[in-house]
Structure 1
């Protein structure tokens, strides 16, 4: 393939630069890391940059193979039209100045196509999305990777399929990275709360509460593990509703050996905590994907999400799916603001038994 050969002839030195574009949520960013790892394996001297939404930066900030991260800050919209456009234009100019050899556009937004084209890179790969068939999308890329089969592929496999036009061998491992300082900060927080020895991390929350399990069932599970002699560390995001859920669960548990770091950790600190845990129990959320990537023994509670796309990749543990215990709605038909708890069909005994097996 001409593009592949041309890139390989230029990819032997540190001057070779690659830009990967993905504009999605935190979990999506973590699942792009196999593409980054594969590009590094093929071109170890190349500098790999990433363009993402600024709020997701922490997911990739400590990745060892990333040279630089550029962020699109969605708060730019609040600056007014003139300043917003100035920020966007400055970003475009900065990216063009990098003189990329290759752009890998994993995103599906028109904005990503504009950025891809404006870089002027000689090789620009995107996906041949059905919804993006047309002159502009096609001309923004020098080659489009087919999406045939994506409906039956995990998100990791979908991402990796973009490398087919480059003949780059896939690397399947998802990488969640953090710095030594992140673990030191977590250790200090644990010390303040008098947490000693081994511990289980439990993340009962998601930003979408329909993905959560009943608080009483979670508390009953935690209480059983406490009676078994285990220490529990509860975590959540900083959202007040998530923190309130944690407090509800804590109030239903015996006070011994249950601690909360809800809303107190950065994403990288949370990764460090999970990496040092003896077990992770959580719902379909970013921390679940972190636990799978870190190979921490994991129990993932799943409801009406698309398991094919979003189950924890190469998880060391067990996925407990509510659909095995009762009917679930079509994931595409769910009102994300619903008060329904679709995971409630999962019995406590199943989770406790799985935890005891993992421990």
Structure 2
């Protein structure tokens, strides 16, 4: 590392995407702190994704873009955005790592005035304006077939860091753990349990409700306590209700829609096993080193598989044909995971519970 790099004191990381994307930037934060332990690392993310990293102690400050600003009118939105840009510029960052591909992220990067500004060289962003926003561009094509964690870490190449920390980190508070413990006590869950999150905000990533019911029945007959979870979306909660109605057992515990993401992390962290689909909770389980069984359909497995996980991934493509991930209509009601048999999931679970 050069003497110039050793002087780095203030760093900004930008990622304006979804919850899972936000969680998977934590190896970048971990790597920066490993190399610059005294540096202050700030984050700019979409406000709704803040629960993914709000308890992560390695972050100095979290700045947010709030989608609700759009509802306040153009002038109000511009005032919010100008204040954000001004606040960021006043931090006098040494380095900005832009992990996003949106124009607003590039413009914000440029306006910070940081001496080192790193972003992706993307085929759809070949404008001279995009290029002028950065001092270093990493060709996305060079890492396009790698996991998102590896893509994120690739943007640190210009810093020539001797230490790379690839660990994804999911944090929660003592209060989160207490709340979860009390909810479990209320349902008389005092021993070990398995968390099942059958839902995703995209239903094409989901397995059949009837198959979940059969799996739960089999697991409960073998003496396992099941705790079902989901996001707050009414459609997700309805899916969980349908699954419970399809079960012959009446001992299934549902915390569907009742937990914040950090609380869900506390629940998963203390579980014997996590079972779910390609979703944020799956990435949380992998980060928390909770053994998992993940069901995957037509997603880019090499991008989105659970990172450094304990457990097994069952891909529907091993049981039949799937559409190309780039051709999937994300609003379709088709359940591509239907190809995965209950017996194979049950055997995978048994393998992890040995």
TM-score class normalised by the smaller sequence: over 0.9
Task: Report the Cα distance in structure 2 between the residues aligned to 1:347 and 1:134, rounded to whole angstroms.
Answer: 48
2:148 counterpart (155, 164, 168): 155
Deviation at 1:330, TM superposition (A): 0.8
Q: Which residue of the partner structure matches residue 4 of structure 2?
A: 6
Task: Report the Cα distance in structure 2 between the residues aligned to 1:254 and 1:66, rounded to whole angstroms.
Answer: 46
Task: Report the Cα distance in structure 2 between the residues aligned to 1:201 and 1:288, rounded to whole angstroms.
Answer: 11
Task: Report the Cα distance in structure 1 between the residues aligned to 2:217 and 2:122, rounded to whole angstroms.
Answer: 48
1:206 counterpart (200, 214, 218): 200
Secondary structure of 2:27 counterpart? helix
Q: Which residue of the partner structure matches residue 111 of structure 2?
A: 118
2:345 counterpart (335, 340, 351): 351
Task: Report the Cα distance in structure 2 between the residues aligned to 1:37 and 1:127, rounded to whole angstroms.
Answer: 20
Q: Which residue of the partner structure matches residue 189 of structure 1?
A: 183
Q: Which residue of the partner structure matches residue 35 of structure 1?
A: 28
Q: Which residue of the partner structure matches residue 317 of structure 1?
A: 311
Task: Report the Cα distance in structure 1 between the residues aligned to 2:95 and 2:144, rounded to whole angstroms.
Answer: 27
Within a 5 Å distance, the mapping from 1:134-145 to structure 2 comes to: 134-145=127-138
Deviation at 1:236, TM superposition (A): 0.2
Q: Which residue of the partner structure matches residue 20 of structure 1?
A: 13
Q: Which residue of the partner structure matches residue 86 of structure 1?
A: 79
Task: Report the Cα distance in structure 2 between the residues aligned to 1:123 and 1:5, rounded to whole angstroms.
Answer: 15
* Residue range with higher mean Cα deviation, 145-154 or 239-248: 145-154
Secondary structure of 1:130 counterpart? coil
Task: Tell me if structure 2 keeps the 8 A contact 1:236–1:263.
Answer: yes
Task: Report the Cα distance in structure 2 between the residues aligned to 1:149 and 1:114, rounded to whole angstroms.
Answer: 24
Deviation at 1:342, TM superposition (A): 0.3
Task: Report the Cα distance in structure 1 between the residues aligned to 2:239 and 2:3, rounded to whole angstroms.
Answer: 55
Secondary structure of 1:194 counterpart? coil
Within a 5 Å distance, the mapping from 1:207-226 to structure 2 comes to: 207-226=201-220
Secondary structure of 1:233 counterpart? strand
Deviation at 1:255, TM superposition (A): 3.5
Is residue 296 of structure 2 the alignment partner of residue 302 of structure 1?
yes
Secondary structure of 1:277 counterpart? coil
Deviation at 1:256, TM superposition (A): 3.9
Task: Tell me if structure 2 keeps the 8 A contact 1:226–1:256.
Answer: no
List gaps (5 residues or longer) in structure 1: none
Task: Report the Cα distance in structure 1 between the residues aligned to 2:144 and 2:111, rounded to whole angstroms.
Answer: 30
Deviation at 1:46, TM superposition (A): 0.3
Secondary structure of 2:22 counterpart? helix
Task: Report the Cα distance in structure 2 between the residues aligned to 1:29 and 1:290, rounded to whole angstroms.
Answer: 11
Task: Report the Cα distance in structure 1 between the residues aligned to 2:215 and 2:259, rounded to whole angstroms.
Answer: 24
Task: Tell me if structure 1 keeps the 8 A contact 2:56–2:170.
Answer: yes
Task: Tell me if structure 2 keeps the 8 A contact 1:301–1:320.
Answer: yes
Task: Tell me if structure 2 keeps the 8 A contact 1:230–1:257.
Answer: no
Give the aligned length.
Answer: 352
Task: Report the Cα distance in structure 2 between the residues aligned to 1:315 and 1:69, rounded to whole angstroms.
Answer: 27
Deviation at 1:150, TM superposition (A): 2.0
Deviation at 1:254, TM superposition (A): 2.9
Task: Tell me if structure 1 keeps the 8 A contact 2:172–2:263.
Answer: yes
Task: Report the Cα distance in structure 2 between the residues aligned to 1:175 and 1:243, rounded to whole angstroms.
Answer: 27
Q: Which residue of the partner structure matches residue 234 of structure 2?
A: 240
Is residue 172 of structure 2 the alignment partner of residue 174 of structure 1?
no
Deviation at 1:102, TM superposition (A): 0.8
2:50 counterpart (38, 53, 57): 57
Task: Report the Cα distance in structure 2 between the residues aligned to 1:39 and 1:146, rounded to whole angstroms.
Answer: 21
